[in-house]
């Protein structure tokens, strides 16, 4: 199963790198996914640095053959570094422009992983517009779960590192399935 999760991560990374490179003016970007695993839902805040740690999270909800939410979460330091990479000369603050930049990158990353799931499973999935939250990690996870009515007890965690010429930006992609969605996806991938 870990091999399939890593393949999903690799396809998502490939799609995201192409889009992010264009966004950064063809600057060379490397993206690594050193961790691809299933995590119990209640443990997710710990993987994001602790339930009371403030993070930035961009997420999309997908509906269709299955329902799921894909969340890109990163520390405030990483969010600041990402904003600075996108807009040289800017201090990397979470002001209106910084939030807009984070939403755009988060949309690219979450959509890339959604497309990878669709490609690998042939499921039809329609994404919602991206949303952003800056709050304690436990609060963001609770909000995402409540808004999407998610009930599965495991999520896919993909740790990511974006490497630009200027900085290294760490983040996490979480694929949070609605009840039964993960089983259906795994069955279509030959793991059921």
pLDDT digits (tens, 9 = 90+) for 88-110: 777 878 899 999 989 998 999 89
What is the domain count for the chain? Answer: 1
The model carries a pTM of 0.90
For 80-86, what is the mean pLDDT? 84
pLDDT (mean) for 127-141: 94
Which of 25, 14, 4 is closest to 109 using CA atoms? 14
Domain span at 167 = 2-188
Handedness of CA 126, 12, 45, 84 (dihedral sign): negative
Q: From 176, 187, 184, select the one nearest 153 (Cα to Cα).
A: 176
Give the span between the Cα atoms of 158 and 113, in whole angstroms: 10
How far is Cα 154 from Cα 176, in angstroms, rounded to an integer? 8
Cα–Cα dist 108/14, whole Å: 11
Q: Using an 8 Å Cβ cutoff, are 113 and 173 in contact?
A: yes
Q: Kind and range of the H or E element at 71?
A: strand 68-75
Residue 84's pLDDT band (cuts 50, 70, 90): confident
State the average pLDDT for the chain: 85
Helix (H) or strand (E) holding 147: helix 137-148
Residue bearing the bigger pLDDT, 84 or 128: 128
CATH number where 181 lies: 3.40.1550.10
Confidence category of residue 161, pLDDT binned at 50, 70, 90: confident
Q: Which residue has the higher pLDDT, 190 or 114?
A: 114
Q: How far apart are CA 22 and CA 178, in angstroms?
A: 33
Q: pLDDT per residue over 13-50, tens digit each?
A: 777 877 777 776 656 777 777 678 889 988 999 989 89
Residues 6 or more apart whose CB falls under 8 angstroms from that of 139 comprise 133
Percentage of the chain lying above the pLDDT 90 cut: 38
- What local confidence, expressed as pLDDT, does residue 73 receive? 95
User: Quick one: pLDDT at residue 51?
Assistant: 92
């Amino acid at each position: 199963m870990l091999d399939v999760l890593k393949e999903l991560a690799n396809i998502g990374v490939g799609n995201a790198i192409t889009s992010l490179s264009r966004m950064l003016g063809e600057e060379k970007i490397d993206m690594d996914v050193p961790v691809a695993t299933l995590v119990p839902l209640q443990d997710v805040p710990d993987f994001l640095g602790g339930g009371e740690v403030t993070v930035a999270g961009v997420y999309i909800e997908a509906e269709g053959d299955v329902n799921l939410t894909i969340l890109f979460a990163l520390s405030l330091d990483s969010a600041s570094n990402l904003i600075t990479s996108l807009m040289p000369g800017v201090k990397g603050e979470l002001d209106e422009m910084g939030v807009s930049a984070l939403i755009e990158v988060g949309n690219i990353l979450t959509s890339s992983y959604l497309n990878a799931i669709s490609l690998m499973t042939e499921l039809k999935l329609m994404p919602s517009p991206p949303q952003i939250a800056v709050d304690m990690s436990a609060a963001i996870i609770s909000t995402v779960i409540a808004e999407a009515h998610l009930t599965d007890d495991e999520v896919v965690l993909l740790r990511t590192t974006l490497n630009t010429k200027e900085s290294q930006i760490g983040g996490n992609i979480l694929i949070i399935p609605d009840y039964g969605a993960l089983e259906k996806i795994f069955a279509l991938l030959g793991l059921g």
